Amino acid sequence: MADSARIVAVVPAHDEEHTLPAALRSLAVQTRLPDEVVVVVDNCTDGTAEVAAAHDVAVQRTVANTDRKAGALNQALDRILPELADHDLILAMDADSALTPAFLTEALTWLDNHPGDGAVGGVFAGRPGGGLVGALQRNEYARYAREVARRGARATVLTGTATLFRVPTLRAVAAARGTVLPGRPGAVYDPAAITEDNEITLAVRTLGLGAASPRACLVHTEVMTTWADLWRQRLRWQRGALDNLRAYGLTRVTSPYALKQAAMYAGIVAVGLFLLATTLFAVIGQLGPPRGFWLAVTVLFVVERVVTVRRRGWRAMALAAPVVVEFGYDLFQQAVYLCAAAELLARRAPRWHHPDTQPVEV
């Protein structure tokens, strides 16, 4: 496949003049270069189109797109897919992300060795910056990468930061829309989904194809640099995940996702009860340091938090060791999950937030 396949990289971009150069530079230094790069300029008010043109890549402007990133990708794929052969591939990549140089080589090798997989997504790591909130996200991403590796690189989500699809996979998804899969017939991405990467993962797996994220397929992506931006990003992610499950219903594919959501919300209840009990014991003067069995549990918990980020170095381990800082981060995310559930129950329309970006280096 690596010798004969044609790879087209599709990069949807909405006001990404600052981050797009790093994304395009990362494509230009791949050990297996893409055969074509298409930047899909979507409702931009900045110099995104000019930046793309300066990097000598193809530019496609969306026409009357109201379907956000999914719509931009669909307009590009409507033009590109008919021109490709079944052995070709399409890389869907965010304009705020950068691939490591061996990404495409490693992804091609994986697909050659795993014919039942329909796509290979990246394992993402957060870029520097963002102070404490950025460091917490980088620790979170490191743990997610470790979790994926322990599952044998089986992907929970084909990340929107960068995923390499077989052309027949995308054609099969488009053909199944409106019948086997939710969405508009003929569309690769479901415009109703605000988490298009999570939704297309469910689509690929519903069609019986595998989805992988090998550790060698590393992507560096932006982190949210303020708590407000992080709140809006995670609210979209969680609301999108819940909406995707509602659209698909309970199936063999969605059952593990639904169980994970149920366990997560049960965990929120458990944490709430723990905090209530801790407060009551403190009020009556019975709160003290853990002893015996609970001391052993506490030590094991601290060790686990530290060990799971050791690949990131001593700073990440030092952030994890006190536990209380990351516990506060967990409480923040649990508040997001509760807000997403409340929005869903109230039938509020989901929202898409695009944070301000700054220039980045590969």
At 134-148, the pLDDT tens digits run: 999 999 999 999 999
Does residue 110 fall inside a structural domain? yes
pLDDT at residue 69 in the model: 94
Give the Cα separation of 246 and 265 in Å (integer).
16
Which residues are within 8 A (CB) of 320 and not within 5 positions of it... i.e. 6 or more apart?
139, 305, 306, 308, 309, 326
What is the residue range of 196's domain? 7-224
Give the Cα separation of 22 and 72 in Å (integer).
20
To the nearest 10 degrees (0 to 180), the angle between helices 227-248 and 324-345 is 50
* Tally of residues, the chain: 362
pLDDT value at 362 more than 60: no
pLDDT at residue 251 in the model: 97
What separation, in Å, do the N-terminal and C-terminal C-alpha atoms of the chain show? 28
Query: Are 162 and 91 within 8 A, CB to CB?
Result: yes
pLDDT at residue 3 in the model: 63
* DSSP letter assigned to residue 127: P
CATH assignment of the domain containing 161? 3.90.550.10
Q: What is the DSSP string of 198-227?
A: HHHHHHHHHTT-EEE--TTSEEEE----SH
Q: Domains in the chain: how many in total?
A: 1
pLDDT at residue 353 in the model: 64
pLDDT value at 6 more than 90: yes
Give the Cα separation of 175 and 309 in Å (integer).
42
Q: What is the DSSP string of 333-360?
A: HHHHHHHHHHHHHTTPPP----------
Q: What percent of the chain has pLDDT over 70?
A: 96
Does residue 266 fall inside a structural domain? no
Calculate mean pLDDT across residues 247-256: 96
- Strand 97-99 to 58-61 pairing: unpaired
Residue 357 pLDDT grade (very low, low, confident, very high; cuts 50, 70, 90): low
- Reported as a single tens digit per residue, the pLDDT across 283-300 is 888 777 777 887 888 889
* DSSP letter assigned to residue 82: G
Does residue 317 fall inside a structural domain? no
20 CB-contact burial (10 Å; exposed 0-12 / middle 13-18 / buried 19+): buried
Does residue 22 fall inside a structural domain? yes
For residue 100, report the phi and psi dihedrals to the nearest 5 degrees.
Answer: -70, 155
Which residues are within 8 A (CB) of 129 and not within 5 positions of it... i.e. 6 or more apart?
223, 225
Give the Cα separation of 41 and 43 in Å (integer).
7
* DSSP letter assigned to residue 122: P
pLDDT value at 202 more than 80: yes
Does residue 69 fall inside a structural domain? yes
Please name the helix (run of DSSP H) or strand (run of DSSP E) that holds residue 107, with its range, or none.
helix 103-113
- Reported as a single tens digit per residue, the pLDDT across 71-127 is 999 999 999 999 999 999 999 999 999 999 999 999 999 999 999 999 999 999 999
Among 108, 122, 112, 118, which Cα is nearest to 33's? 108
Q: What is the DSSP string of 303-326?
A: HHHHHTTGGG-HHHHHHHTTSHHH
pLDDT value at 129 more than 80: yes
Least confident window among 117-121, 280-284, 355-359: 355-359
pTM flag (> 0.85): yes
Residue owning tokens 């996702």: 257
Does residue 125 fall inside a structural domain? yes
* DSSP letter assigned to residue 177: B
Alpha-carbon distances of 240 from 156, 225, 246, rounded to whole Å? 14, 22, 10
350 CB-contact burial (10 Å; exposed 0-12 / middle 13-18 / buried 19+): middle
Amino acid at 17: E
pLDDT value at 351 more than 80: no
Query: Are 180 and 98 within 8 A, CB to CB?
Result: no
Give the Cα separation of 312 and 140 in Å (integer).
11
pLDDT at residue 95 in the model: 95
* DSSP letter assigned to residue 126: E
Q: What percent of the chain has pLDDT over 90?
A: 86
Does residue 141 fall inside a structural domain? yes
What is the SS3 assignment for 51?
helix
Does residue 91 fall inside a structural domain? yes
